[in-house]
Amino acid sequence: MRGRWAVLGVALASGLIAALGQAPWGLWYLALPALAAVALLVALVPTARGAFGRAWLAGAAQFAVALAWIVEPFLIDSTTHGWMAPFALLGMAGGLALFWGAAAALTAAALQRPVARIWAFAGAMLAFEALRGHLFTGFPWALTGHIWIGTPADQLAAYGGGLLLSALALGLAATLATMAYRLSQGRILRASLEALGGAVALAAALGLGAFRLAAPLPAPLTPVVRLVQGNVPQHLKWQPDLVEGFYHRHLALSASASDEPPALVIWPESAAPFLLDSAGDGLRMAIEAAGVPVIFGVDRRARDEAGRVQYFNALALIGMDAQVAAVYDKHHLVPFGEYIPLIGQFAEGFGGLASQALSGYAPGAGVEILDLAALGLEGLGQSLPLICYEAVFARNLRSEMRPDWILQITNDAWFGTGIGPFQHLAQAQLRAVEFGLPLVRAANTGVSAMIDARGRITAALPLGEQGVLDAQIPGALPATPYARIGDTPWHIALSLLALWLALRGWRRRGRV
């Protein structure tokens, strides 16, 4: 009995340590041995049920730490919604841990030899991470590969996306687990050879990344762009006596003096306190303050073909004539926040326009390109807009026409000032690497940033500060292999692996 509790303790500790590989900590060198310990626990348990339990516990611990920010929206009005916070965290962590548990159970049911299990578990984990990015609209947050973001190894994403980064992490963890098992069997030479192989693989990943980072980038786009970071606290954002003042804050920041006047001003998501179709003097005020075209986040109301009123979380470009020149509607909505039925009964406390729209935003038409040059903004080319959560998904950047840069507007005030905003920023950096495109990020409370085509932050406003960032947009690289091919090869290979494990497990059960 004591041994069982010790095993569960190791599983729990391994999950907690594995979480430290995620942003903002970035301790990948601790995450790898922690993941190796989980693989060993799965390899050495006799039953699929036991493997599921060990991996699930480790996964639950990992997600409980990495996704602790999920409680923040419920604490904005803690009196009304605070009681839901622990249930949200436990539900999210426990639910996502099912993917770890399923990978372990599938592996243990199919294979018996420990080394084979270790490597099959790594492959199954990768397959379930790919599935997690799509099931129920997907939630590819805190993937194992995200531990590499901000290191030279993240440049591998240009060739195989985030799943290649996960394959590197899980492969190195499997190598460490195999080494540990070999040493326990007294096979020192074999363990040494595997250690050498792992070291070579890690050095190659870091070396290739460093080589790619050292290569020059194309020249930046000539015009200066201004990012406005209003730093409006979410719990105050929609209070009736404050909304006008917050709007004037954005106007004042837009009008700030600068050495080189910007050609475009960009505000964050939901920056406008009015509906786009009933803006009054709001559009004119924005243009008069900025003196140049303005892009901002705003809720929009329209009727569908049946005459029903729909609400959209939108991005609007306002031209110098104070008219709407272009609109993009968010199409990848946030589950349990923007479109789930009955959520409206809980939304009143969130306040403002959001309380009305939370009862059911309608999805936009899909990925779009803003041709800014054609709209009179010479030198700014074409931009692919994203709103908040959409930047978490690489597939939301796929379009028939390749843009010159990516624009993300977001309101990370929902996620507090802890780990959530930094993880969201890290995933924006990963998108830039994957597609070889610069990314411009305007965030309400931060981090607003210019990110170059290799994922490096070239200029930024710190989290929790009010201000403006005037900078040129970095240049774009040619389309990366990942931009051209995408995840399809991964999905085919991982589906075949999962099918093979499932069939092998079914045959094993038939022989018992």
Count of Cβ atoms closer than 10 Å to residue 342 Cβ: 9
Element (H, E) at 315: strand 309-318
Which residue in 129, 194, 269, 390 is the catalytic one?
269
Distances from the Cα of 179 to the Cα of 108, 115, 167, 182, angstroms: 20, 10, 18, 5
269 is a catalytic site residue: yes
AA identity, residue 197? G
Question: How far, in Å, CA of 48 to CA of 396, rounded?
Answer: 36
Sign of the torsion formed by the C-alpha atoms of 355, 361, 367 and 368: negative
DSSP state of 159: H
Nearest 10 degrees: Cα torsion 330, 333, 337, 341: 110
378 part of the active site: no
Alpha helices, DSSP H only, in 20-113?
28-44, 48-66, 72-75, 78-81, 85-110
Active-site position among 72, 194, 330, 338? 330
Enter the tokens of residue 31. 């995450």
Query: What letter represents residue 369's amino acid?
Result: I
> Which candidate in 194, 237, 388, 434 is catalytic?
388
Tell me the C-alpha distance between 448 and 317, whole Å.
19
Q: Does 237 participate in catalysis according to the annotation? A: no
Q: Position of tokens 């490597």? A: 119
Which two tokens mark 438?
């610069």
Q: Which residues of 243-258 are buried (b: 16+ CB within 10 A; e: fewer)?
A: beebbebbbebbeeee
Nearest 5°: phi and psi at 40?
Answer: -65, -40
Residue tagged 């091919």 (tokens): 485
The residues assigned a catalytic role are 269, 330, 388
